[in-house]
């Protein structure tokens, strides 16, 4: 018979955690034969003290970082477990589609790398080693993801091994049967995603790009389960109880296996705090999912993922680490004096997302323009990079003065008349060149130099996982795009093993950098998803600035970038560089960038039109006396 004295330290540790005790607790230690019944009042008080301490610890450790109340969380183990009603044949069809799409995805990425290597000059052949390292990393990633899909979809215990991907793998799906319902495929993908994140302790940009293209994902549920595993198990327990009740009503004999909610949730939290609770969690989760019709290897993987969820969250979201973002930035204050991350929305949703977006403005009419252009986004955590505010405000004033100057009016007229930039500089009068040079030699050149330095700093911060081990999307216009471009160049120079999983998508608009195929091919290899170059052949301001500062008309912000895999978006509405501030949302929407809020885009473009009308009125008013 159970006595208070027999309730040892091991048992106290097992049921420590977030969960309050409600009613009787049924515990069963699966590596022993000792069952423990309802605890005494003494034991209950002791357990509640342990629970309180565990809550404090978990909050400090990051497990409860920015949590929503339980009712608002989407934690549900059934949503990250594969559907139990699919037949072996249906599971096999899903796997075959998965395998062939993955092989195609892997081959495309390797092709970009091969094309980049082919553009190397004879003096840079040593960089070809990066191509080989990249291919090895892609093979390892693709095979690892495929094996997780195999464990989930291959339900037969026949000893058959997972096939291997290689350049000759079949990539055609024409001869395959149609996959099951979308919601069933989504649950399979959620399971693959959960396993991949919890085993690697990162969310690869490659994985997100591939899975998102293959089908729909419920990332909110995965986040909720990682951040609140005890609630996920509580919900699974409730569903298991409902299943047991339903079967009992049908006259079936049920036997309790002795695993209560307190034991399950406590076991998870022991794993979180570093105890050896994984076997206990595994047994508990096995019991719950057994009632729900899920079993086998999948349950063990789920259990391990739940047990280590706090460590995973710390890595994903940067909750804890060797260095905070502030200290990481501080190391670079000699190169860049003003650099910080600003959340675009002050009141963000209650929990972190599995992806993060970093946006960078090109100049500042006012300090609020650090974040104001980017309220068009929703979904992924969205930050704006604040950099060199004073220089960007000076540039804004200079650009405005340049646009209103007679010299630039003459330049605009020449561009419209000639329709090409090449012969423009030779035709300009010396006085016009002098006035333009005053802008170029000071604010523009200064801000441009700072953008290049800031880009190198940003590249280092991204390489050190400033934003956690989750996919990063980069968005910018004008000098903000140059910052991103320089950061990507830095990342592309590093070994692929540390960078291949980092960047998901890149959107660059009006970028004041050369359309050099070799440099853009390096970036194409680095980025897992899309590389979008937004340009305008009508941007006469950028044309003159880049011609004077870089001695070239071959500018990415003015023309297409001729590199396979780079998407070129023509933005003809931009007839002067300052337009980018007001049309960035419109062209991101036209580029099918995810997370765009249509109402915010309209508000942005309407504000730009009103500003243009005011400027036109003021210009006409100032010109009327001379007339």
Tens-place pLDDT, residues 102-115: 999 999 999 999 98
Q: What is the mean pLDDT of residues 137-161?
A: 91
Q: pLDDT at position 415, please?
A: 55
Inform me whether the pLDDT recorded for 550 exceeds 60.
yes
Q: What is the mean pLDDT of residues 294-323?
A: 62
Q: What is the mean pLDDT of residues 16-43?
A: 36
Residue-wise DSSP of 453-486: HHHHHHHHHHHTTTT-SS-EEEEEETHHHHHHHH
Q: With cut-offs at 50, 70 and 90, classify the pLDDT of residue 431.
A: very low
37-41, 311-315, 469-473: which range is least confident on average?
37-41
User: Per the structure block, which two tokens stand in for 46?
Assistant: 């002791």
Q: pLDDT at position 246, please?
A: 59
Q: What are phi and psi of 562, to 5 degrees?
A: -90, 70
C-alpha distances out from residue 135 to 109, 111, 128, 496, 540, Å: 8, 9, 11, 9, 41
Residue-wise DSSP of 194-238: HHHHHHHTS--HHHHHHHHHHS---HHHHHHHHH-HHHHHHHHHH
Q: pLDDT at position 575, please?
A: 83
Domains contained in the chain, CATH given: 4-81+225-317 (no CATH), 87-173 (no CATH), 325-623 (3.40.50)
N residues, the chain? 627
Q: What is the mean pLDDT of residues 276-282?
A: 40
Inform me whether the pLDDT recorded for 266 exceeds 50.
no
Q: How far apart are CA 422 and CA 515, in angstroms?
A: 16
Give the range with max mean pLDDT: 407-421, 422-436, 447-461, 611-625: 447-461
Average pLDDT, the chain: 75
| Alpha helix segments (H runs only) across 340-469 | 389-404, 406-418, 424-427, 430-439, 445-463
Inform me whether the pLDDT recorded for 348 exceeds 80.
no
Q: pLDDT at position 298, please?
A: 64
Structure confidence by residue, pLDDT tens digits, 480-493: 999 999 999 999 99
Query: Which of 430, 622, 442, 624 has the alpha carbon at shortest distance from 545?
Result: 442
Cβ proximity of 304 and 50 under 8 Å: no
Q: pLDDT at position 302, please?
A: 66
Q: With cut-offs at 50, 70 and 90, classify the pLDDT of residue 438.
A: low
Q: pLDDT at position 225, please?
A: 83
Q: With cut-offs at 50, 70 and 90, classify the pLDDT of residue 299.
A: low
Q: What is the mean pLDDT of residues 124-148?
A: 88
Q: With cut-offs at 50, 70 and 90, classify the pLDDT of residue 25.
A: very low
Q: pLDDT at position 627, please?
A: 38
Inform me whether the pLDDT recorded for 402 exceeds 90.
no
Q: pLDDT at position 262, please?
A: 34
Q: What is the mean pLDDT of residues 410-435?
A: 52
Cβ proximity of 549 and 440 under 8 Å: yes
List of long-range contacts for 178-184, beta carbons under 8 Å, 24+ apart:
178/93, 179/93, 179/94, 179/97, 180/83, 180/86, 180/90, 180/93, 180/94, 182/215, 182/216, 183/83, 184/83, 184/86, 184/90
Q: pLDDT at position 129, please?
A: 80
Q: How far apart are CA 255 and CA 223, in angstroms?
A: 34
Structure confidence by residue, pLDDT tens digits, 38-61: 444 544 444 344 334 333 333 333
Q: What is the pTM of this model?
A: 0.77
Q: Give the whole-number percent of the chain exceeding pLDDT 90.
A: 44
C-alpha distances out from residue 541 to 332, 398, 405, 618, Å: 32, 12, 12, 21
Q: What is the mean pLDDT of residues 184-190?
A: 95
Residues ≥6 apart with Cβ < 8 Å to 523: 485, 488, 489, 492, 506, 531
Query: Which of 221, 208, 102, 223 has the alpha carbon at shortest distance from 473?
Result: 208
Higher pLDDT, 33 or 398: 398
Q: pLDDT at position 538, please?
A: 87
Structure confidence by residue, pLDDT tens digits, 507-533: 999 999 999 999 999 999 999 999 999
Q: How far apart are CA 605 and CA 623, in angstroms?
A: 27
Inform me whether the pLDDT recorded for 138 exceeds 90.
yes
User: Per the structure block, which two tokens stand in for 336?
Assistant: 């860049």
Inform me whether the pLDDT recorded for 458 exceeds 50.
yes
């Amino acid at each position: 018979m159970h006595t208070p004295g027999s309730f040892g330290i091991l048992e106290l540790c097992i049921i420590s955690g977030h969960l309050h005790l409600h009613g009787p607790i049924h515990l069963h230690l699966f590596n022993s034969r000792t069952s423990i019944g309802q605890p005494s009042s003494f034991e209950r008080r002791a357990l509640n003290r342990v629970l309180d301490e565990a809550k404090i610890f978990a909050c400090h450790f990051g497990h409860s970082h920015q949590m929503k109340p339980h009712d608002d969380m989407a934690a549900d183990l059934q949503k990250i477990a594969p559907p139990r009603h699919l037949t072996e044949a249906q599971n096999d069809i899903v796997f075959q589609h998965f395998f062939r799409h993955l092989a195609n995805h892997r081959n495309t990425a390797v092709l970009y790398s091969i094309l980049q290597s082919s553009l190397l000059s004879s003096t840079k052949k040593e960089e070809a080693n990066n191509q080989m390292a990249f291919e090895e990393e892609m093979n390892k990633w693709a095979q690892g993801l495929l094996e997780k899909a195999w464990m989930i979809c291959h339900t037969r215990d026949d000893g058959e091994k997972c096939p291997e991907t290689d350049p000759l793998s079949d990539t055609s799906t024409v001869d395959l049967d149609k996959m099951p319902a979308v919601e069933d495929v989504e649950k399979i993908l959620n399971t693959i995603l959960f396993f991949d994140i919890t085993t690697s302790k990162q969310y690869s940009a490659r994985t997100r790009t591939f899975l998102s293209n293959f089908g729909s994902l419920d990332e909110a549920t995965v986040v909720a389960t990682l951040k609140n595993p005890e609630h996920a198990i509580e919900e699974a327990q409730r569903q298991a109880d409902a299943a047991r009740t339903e079967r009992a009503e049908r006259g079936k004999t049920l036997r309790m296996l002795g695993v209560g909610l307190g034991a399950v949730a406590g076991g998870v939290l022991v794993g979180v705090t570093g105890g050896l609770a994984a076997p206990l969690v595994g047994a508990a989760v096995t019991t719950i999912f057994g009632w729900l019709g899920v079993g086998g290897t999948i349950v063990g993987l789920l259990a391990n993922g739940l047990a280590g969820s706090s460590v995973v969250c710390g890595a994903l979201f940067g909750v804890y680490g060797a260095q905070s973002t502030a200290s990481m930035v501080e190391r670079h204050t000699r190169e860049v004096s003003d650099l910080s991350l600003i959340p675009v929305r002050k009141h963000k949703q209650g929990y972190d997302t599995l992806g993060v977006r970093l946006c960078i403005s090109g100049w500042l009419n006012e300090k609020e323009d650090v974040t104001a252009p980017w309220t068009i986004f929703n979904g992924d955590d969205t930050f704006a990079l604040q950099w060199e505010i004073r220089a960007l405000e000076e540039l804004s004033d200079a650009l405005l003065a340049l646009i209103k100057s007679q010299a630039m009016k003459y330049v605009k007229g020449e561009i419209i008349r000639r329709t090409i930039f090449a012969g423009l500089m030779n035709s300009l009068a010396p006085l016009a060149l002098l006035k333009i040079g005053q802008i170029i030699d000071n604010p523009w050149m200064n801000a441009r130099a700072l953008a290049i330095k800031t880009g190198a700093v940003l590249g280092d911060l991204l390489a050190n996982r400033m934003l956690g081990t989750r996919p990063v999307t980069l968005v910018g216009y004008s000098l903000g795009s140059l910052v991103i471009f320089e950061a990507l160049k830095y990342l592309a120079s590093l070994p692929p093993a540390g960078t291949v999983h980092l960047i998901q998508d890149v959107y660059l608009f009006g970028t004041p950098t050369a359309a050099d195929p070799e440099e853009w091919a390096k970036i194409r290899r680095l980025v897992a998803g899309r590389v979008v170059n937004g340009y305008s052949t009508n941007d006469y301001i950028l044309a003159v600035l880049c011609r004077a500062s870089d001695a070239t008309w071959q500018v990415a912000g003015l023309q297409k970038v001729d590199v396979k895999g780079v998407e070129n978006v023509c933005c003809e509405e931009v007839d002067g560089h300052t337009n980018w501030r007001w049309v960035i949302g419109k062209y991101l929407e036209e580029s099918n960038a995810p997370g765009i809020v249509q109402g915010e885009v309209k508000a942005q473009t309407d504000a730009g039109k009103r500003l243009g009308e005011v400027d036109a009125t003021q210009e006409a008013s100032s010109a009327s006396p001379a007339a």
